[in-house]
Structure 1
Amino acid sequence: MNKSLFYRISQFFGFLLGAKVFVTALLAFALYVSAFFLFNRDESFRNFVFDYKVHGLIFSSLFSILAGGIINQFYDKEKDTLTKPFRSRIQNFLKQKYFLYAYLFLNLLSLGIASLLSFRIFIFLLVYQFLMWFYSHKLSKILFLNNITFVALTLYPFFGILVYYRTFSVEIVFSALFLFFTLLILDILKDTLTKNADKVFGYSTIPNIFGTKVAVTNVIFLIIVNILVSMKIIIHNGLDNIWSYYFAAGLFVFIFCIYLLLRNFKNSKFLTLNLLRLWLFVGICAMLLNGIFH
């Protein structure tokens, strides 16, 4: 392969990884599925397809998420050289200034779309962009706030869709709690895996301040809370749809995760982290299938 072509391809993949494009693609799928099958209770599929405001809100949110991924990797660059060496090497094919240009462009594009939709959406996304920058710059190194803020910012676009449709129900509240606790579990588990790098670069995390055992104990407690939330959803809905079966199957997944963490063998935390990530993706698919067939 031509060296110049290899360099260009490496730059392209470096940008994709730096902007967390693959994570954003998954979030786009989740936003569209939740928008139509969870929050939208009155609109037909045809009206949903031609509702330019909801598409504008989702796309402007996605551009802000991409920008947030870029600014986050900019501040975490040194730490990522230890925790994600392969990704860091690929990202090094592209100078940091180009990431910053992309960050500004994506934020301006997001705000430009939002300004065409409504002033409230513009302010909603402006606040989101500020919080993403502030999290990357300051909050990511502050104990407890780093985990809570990360989860809140992940859920922020979903909150925007919820407010847009003005749909509130017991099912949505408990589904939101389930997602909140699952994301919090994932973030704490991630901190146990990056404990040494976090310590070197001054990130105050639960594993660094209180120890890995305390962090794992907190994770197990949150898993038990999620089991209770899942049981509440099952009792409320009954076992008469795919969405309920997802939460019922999740009880076994969570119990298996507790087993992995209590055994504490090599890679148990890594396996638990990836199992729960996979289970979140299964949840998005379950929501989609539930909406299609129910």
Structure 2
Amino acid sequence: MSSEKSNPIPLNPPVKSLFYRLSQFVGFLLGARFFVAILLTFALYVSTFFLFNQDENFSSFVFDFKVHGIIFCTVLTILAGGIINQFYDVEKDHVVKPFRSRIQSFLKQKYFLYIYLFLSIISLGIATFISYRVLLFFIFYQFVMWYYSHKLSRILIVNNLTFVALTLYPFFGMMVYYQTFSRKVLLMAIFLFLILLIIDIVKDTLTRKVDDVFGYITIPNFFSKKTTITIIISLIVITMLVSGKIVDKSGLTGFMAYYFAAGLFVFITCIFLLINSTRRNKFITLNILRFWVFIGIISMLLNGIYGKI
């Protein structure tokens, strides 16, 4: 009895072309960290109106085109930064993120560079129309993003600090724009800096061997496993102290007060997971902390809806 090999059904040329174009588009979205940019845009709008903007009413904020222009420039710069980071990390991503790399392979690297230049130029062009200070702000932002991807991401401790600083840089810009300097804002900035720093170090523990192979000197592949966990737990304890200080001294009420109070239990859970330091527990810790940052944005939004912070 003869057996025939079953061949996959070939795609029609139009269907094949559509699939290829769709794969290119999805590859671009992943390469540009599009979904991260959406989250940061949402966080920027929420924090700008409900935290930094203490005087304008909602209608004035809606028609403040300078603010929308700054946020739009920020989004374009973040997308461009994601692309240039992907360009420099392409070999590492083939090992760490094989599925994403496979999708990104549908779009040649030179096109990623063209899009990077296009987004950067558009961002600087819009910034020029807003003011020369905004232009200088984004020139510096784009330069440090490129230099981080090119050089700083491979330097011990500097890589973590620079990554977190770049994430918070747009929020700092909005704070300066509205001249919102207070003890409450300072403590919340320290809290966010610490939690993002912890997230970045925990993420590095999951890619320790790959980072070592490709020459990225990180805390997990420079120090011992025990020392790394001690550093992370120490940072969590400091974050808990800052969180307690915010609840005790800053006069927060409503959802934000509940957020920082409940955060103490979240951080204790993370410490217990890290004490029994398995890869699975690190992954769970990473996602708990990421989710808790998102909950903080939602808490600020709800707090703002039912009354300014």
8 Å Cα contact 2:83-2:113 kept in structure 1: yes
Contact map agreement 2:270 2:285 (CA 8 A) in 1: yes
1:266 and 1:63 map into 2 onto residues whose CA distance is 35
Return the match for 2:213 from 189, 200, 213: 200
Runs of 4+ aligned structure 1 residues displaced above 3 Å come to 237-240
1:256-275 counterparts in 2 under 5 A?
Answer: 256-275=269-288
> CA shift at 1:109, angstroms?
0.6
Moved more, 83-92 or 257-266: 257-266
Instruction: Output the CA distance in 1 between the equivalents of 2:63 and 2:225.
Output: 50
Cα distance, 1:238 vs structure 2: 4.8
Matched, 1:228 2:241: yes
Selected match of 1:123 from 136, 139, 144:
136
- TM normalised by structure 2 equals 0.94
2:92 to 79, 83, 90: 79
1:253 aligns to 2:266 (yes or no): yes
What displacement does 1:254 show?
0.3
Whether 1:111 aligns to 2:105 is no
Take 1:24 and 1:247, find their aligned partners in 2: how far apart are those partners?
25
Which runs of no fewer than 5 residues in structure 2 stay unpaired? Answer: 1-10
Distance 1:213 1:95 in 2: 41
Higher Rg: 2
* Alignment correspondent of 2:28: 15
CA deviation after TM superposition for structure 1 residue 186, in Å: 0.6
Task: Look up the match of 1:43.
Answer: 56
Aligned residue in 2 for 1:63? 76
Moved more, 207-216 or 284-293: 207-216
Q: 2: CA distance between counterparts of 1:190 and 1:231?
A: 25
1:166 aligns to what?
179
Cα shift at 1:237: 3.9
CA contact (8 A) 1:239 1:245 kept: no
Distance change in 2, residues 1:247/1:126 (3 Å) = same
Distance 2:24 2:271 in 1: 41
Partner of 1:140: 153
CA deviation profile, 1:55-113 (whole Å, cap 9, x unmatched): 01111011011100000000000000111110000000000011001000000010011
For residues 143-167 of structure 1, the C-alpha deviation after alignment (integer angstroms, 9 at most, x for no partner) is 0100000000110111110110000
Letter in 2 for 1:209: F
Q: Which of the numbers 280, 284, 289 marks the counterpart of 2:297?
A: 284
Deviation at residue 265 of structure 1 after TM alignment:
3.5
Sort the Cα spacing of 1:66 and 1:239 in 2 relative to 1 into closer, same or farther, 3 A.
Answer: closer
In structure 1, stretches of 5+ residues that fail to align are none
Amino acid at match of 2:125: G
Q: Superposition RMSD on alpha carbons, in Å? A: 0.9
Q: Hey, what's the Cα distance between the residues in 2 that align with 1:239 and 1:176?
A: 14
- The count of corresponding residues between Structure 1 and Structure 2 is 294
Q: Give per-residue Cα distances to partners, 1:164-191, cap 9 Å, x unaligned.
A: 0000111100100000000100110011
Contact 1:237 1:244 in 2 (8 A): no
Task: Judge conservation of contact 1:19–1:67 (CA < 8 Å) in 2.
Answer: yes
Do the aligned residues in 1 keep the contact of 2:202 with 2:286 (CA within 8 Å)? yes
TM-score (normalizing by structure 1): 0.98
Contact 2:255 2:302 in 1 (8 A): yes
- How big is the shift at 1:239? 6.6
Q: Percent identity?
A: 64
